[in-house]
Amino acid sequence: MRRAALLLATFAVIYLCNFFIPRLMPGDPLQYSSSVSGEDMTVPYNAEQLDQLRAYYGLDQPLLTQFARTLAANLQGDLGQSIHYKQPVSAVILGRLPWTLGLMAFSTALSLPLAVALALVCVRRPRMDKAVYGAFSAICQLPPYLVGLALLFLVAARVDWLPLSGGETAFARYTGLAQRLGDLALHGLLPAVSLCVVSLPGYFFTARASFLSVRRQPYLLAARARGLKEGLVRRRYILRNAATPIVAKLFLSIGGLMGSTLLVENVFAYPGVGTVLREAVRYRDYPLIQGVFLFSTVLVLAGMLASDRLCAGLDKGVRQDG
């Protein structure tokens, strides 16, 4: 509960900064816009036009009134109007969101089972464990977007069947769902692999530690003494009991994964939120930048909260058992 309050307070602080920092900075957006559309950007607004525009955007109101208005609008899901896309920010983000979440899910679907399987094998083979542990300690320090770039010119540029960029084949006509899914997977493969390179070691370390602690539990001895098959012991007793920290780690790593995904998308020109963010940065589309930021903050904090609840639930369960 205390933790939830803290995360809520964190969100409040971030939200306040997000609102006030641009408004307390010297200058205002209208100084940098031109009253003539097109290439000629040097014609400034006259005083009357400035007043009109300030009134239109509500910039003539006191800061607190502006804040109340923004808050009310945001609570209704209105994040403002994107300047570059000329659409509501929420519509732009929601349109791209499936790509980003899909990519995050795809990379997790690759890395999590692989990490758990590797950890299961490694806890029983010390020599292999040592090698994998050492290699992963180095690999997890590599930034995913550089890995993505390296994969792009080392792998994708050399083989024919891997696309260099994009999320799907443009103007493609699919004969069936399977073909469409195959196309999506092919385009998502390299971005997902670059994300995996960094998240795989994280899951591996957590799973390994969890398996090592479960392995010493007396109930395993009891289960084996009852003559249960090794496969059953592994599924029912080891995996199930070791799962909680791994799932908690999954939720905790949403923050890092999110940041990496935003960058990796840009490497592969993947049509997700990350590429929108880069466009927004290039055109100084502040409402969109702030929208993406608020959205990712909510996602990360929700992940942390979920991870906390999970751990709290586990503690409770242990206490009831003991």
Partner 1 sequence: MGKAIRKGWGPLLLLCAGLLILTLFFAWGALAWPCSPTQPSGDSLEAPGPAHWLGTDDLGIDIYAQLSRGFFSSMGLGLACGALTALIGGGLGMLAGYKGGGVQAAVDLAVQVFLAVPQLPVLIVLGAFWGQDRRLVIGLIAAFSWAPVAKQTAAKTRSAAHRTYVQAARSWGANSWYILKNHLAADVLPVVLVGALAVVGKAILQESALAYLGLSDPTAKSWGLMINRASRFAGIYFTDYWKWWLAAPVAALMLTILFTRLLARWLEQRLLEGSV
Q: State which residue, 96 or 237, has the beta carbon closest to partner 1.
A: 96
Residue 21 within binding range of partner 1, rule CB under 8 A: yes
Tell me how crowded residue 196 is: count the other CB atoms within 10 A of its CB.
22
Question: Which CB atom, from 139 or from 243, has the smaller least distance to partner 1?
Answer: 139
For position 4 contacting partner 1 by CB under 8 A, the verdict is no
- How many residues touch partner 1 (CB under 8 A)? 48
What track of x and - describes contact with partner 1 for positions 260 through 289 (by CB under 8 A)? Answer: x-xx--xx---------xx-xxx-x-x--x
Query: In the complex with partner 1, which residue's Cβ is closer, 71 or 298?
Result: 298
Q: Is the dihedral of CA 261, 267, 268, 270 positive or negative?
A: positive
Residue 312 is a binding residue for partner 1 (CB under 8 A): no
Which residue lies nearer to partner 1 by CB, 23 or 125? Answer: 23
Q: Is 98 in the site for partner 1 (CB under 8 A)?
A: no
Q: How far is the CB of 18 from partner 1 (least distance, A)?
A: 7
With a CB cutoff of 8 Å and minimum separation 6, the contacts of 11 are: 297, 298, 301
Q: How far is the CB of 156 from partner 1 (least distance, A)?
A: 7
Enumerate long-range contacts of 131-139, CB under 8 Å, 24 or more apart. 132/204, 133/208, 136/200, 136/201, 136/204, 136/205, 137/201, 139/197, 139/198, 139/200, 139/201
Of the listed pieces 16-24, 79-87, 95-103, 172-180, which binds partner 1 according to CB under 8 A?
A: 16-24
Cα dihedral 14/199/193/180 (nearest 10): -60
Closer CB to partner 1, 242 or 274, in the complex: 274
Find all residues with CB under 8 Å of 77, minimum gap 6, and list them.
90
What string of DSSP letters covers 23-50? HHSSS-GGGG--SS-SS----PPPHHHH
- Pick out residues in 131-170 that bind partner 1 (CB under 8 A): 137-138, 141-143, 145-146, 149-150, 152-153, 156-157, 164
Number of continuous H segments (helices) and E segments (strands) in the chain? 13, 0
DSSP state, residue 228: -
CA distance 251 to 182: 28
What does the block give as tokens for 93?
A: 């983000």
Examine residue 190 and tell whether it contacts partner 1 (CB under 8 A).
no
Interface with partner 1 (CB under 8 A), residue from 108, 199, 290, 307: 290
Residue the block writes with tokens 């409040």 = 12
Q: Per CB under 8 A, does 7 bind partner 1?
A: yes
Q: Which residues here bind partner 1, judged by CB under 8 A? A: 6-7, 9-10, 13-14, 18, 21-22, 25, 137-138, 141-143, 145-146, 149-150, 152-153, 156-157, 164, 255, 258-260, 262-263, 266-267, 277-278, 280-282, 284, 286, 289-290, 292-293, 296-297, 300-301, 304
